Chains A and B, each alone.
Chain A
Amino acid sequence: MFKSLIEKNEKRSQLSMMAQYLNTCFMISTIEHEYLVNIEKGVVKNVEEGPFVMPSYVFKLTAPKNEWIKFLQHTPQPGSHDIIAMLRRKVLKFEGDLHPLMSHLLYFKLLLASLRPAESKNEN
């Protein structure tokens, strides 16, 4: 689900500039599946899919898979269009050292939104 964060790197050169001093490793969890995302100088260098025995990461974003699917629609519905909106609905949890996330909030929002399809499909 989040492996393609790597493939989209080339289209995100502007975005990487927004986080050119950021080096971090964070986890995205769909509860059933976990993804460790490694970022160096604002570029996604590696996405590893679990299961993990002893994963090491700085912060973690956890939401059920169906909520991530709603977030990743071309035009998400209200309440699913932003990670803080999901936090407000209590379907997404932020955990760990949130400094890298909050100091690069727009970057992370746009990074995750970059997985949305460019064209609108039947989203029902």
Chain B
Amino acid sequence: MKIEKEPISGQYGKFKIDGIDYRIYWEEAGQGIPLVCLHTAGSDGRQYRALLNDKKILEKFRVIVFDMPWHGKSSPPENAQIQNYKLSTDFYISQIMSFINGLELLKPVVMGCSIGGRIILHLAINFPDKFRALIGLQSAGHLDPYYDISWLHRQDVHGGEVCGGIAYGLMAPTSPESDKFETMWHYMQGGPGIFKGDLFFYKFDGNIGNEIKKIDNSKCPIYLLTGEYDYSATPEETKSLADTIGIEMIKMKNVGHFPMSENPKEFLKYLHPVLNKIS
């Protein structure tokens, strides 16, 4: 039987992050300009499967997606305990820089969604010279809590069910159900407390106030794209962020919080012109 093979290859490697060894899994495809993609809170790199299969992108870009520690196929560190996971801004930056340095990537483009869309702002503030460009999907400078996230990790509530239920609503009703299901499925497979631990960064530690004004778009071009159905990082919030930086934002119709996986066809229509500008 002939199977349809994808151009994606996966690898494991040990990376030292803040002095501790982590076994990290990543996937990549294509060649050219390195494009490192950051997945959302509580999910993993499978969210970028459409990019890793997009012939047009792979002609010019080496698309690389790693699973954050504790996520997907990347392991927790040795001697880790459940309950202890909390993503801080410093640790998030450290893992990204360790990954980029470990693979010896020179001036990559980094694209992140949600928490990834937030961390690229921190990268723009702290290391603008290290990147060719930064792309924020569903980026907002800060987020005030609007539901009680303790529900995401309680022993009397199935974590996969509740995290999936939360993720499902963040997608557009117009996105294809099969893609929405897969996006939700990734959430249903997360480890206990990991989504909640990531949200510590998203709703508390990683909030940026006036520091946004330090972002200099001339040092490193920033592109911001947000789906109209996202109520976590709304298009209005991205617009306010873009105004502060002094750039235009792109509002994507018919998608929500997970453009790359909930409706890749629609998302790629918006992403291709951005990548053309960068290349």
Contact = CB atoms under 8 A, between A and B. Distances in A.
Nearest to A102: B151
Contacts of A82: 168-170, 231
Contacts of A87: 146-147
Interface residues of A, number: 21
6 pairs of A and B residues whose beta carbons are closest in the complex: A105-B165, A82-B169, A106-B165, A85-B231, A88-B146, A102-B151
Nearest to A106: B165
21 contacts: A75-B173, A78-B229, A82-B168, A82-B169, A84-B169, A85-B231, A87-B146, A87-B147, A88-B146, A88-B231, A88-B232, A89-B231, A98-B151, A103-B156, A103-B158, A103-B161, A105-B161, A105-B166, A106-B161, A106-B184, A107-B165
Interface of A: 75-76, 78-79, 81-85, 87-89, 98-99, 102-107, 109
B133 interface: no
B18 to A, nearest CB: 34
A81 B169 contact: yes
Contact of B173 (A76, A99, A103, A106): A76
A83 B165 CA distance: 11
Interface in B149-189: 151, 156-158, 161-162, 164-166, 168-170, 172-174, 184
B229 A81 contact: yes
A99 B172 CA distance: 26
A78 to B, nearest CB: 5
Contact of B169 (A83, A89, A99, A104): A83
Contacts of B162: 102-103, 105
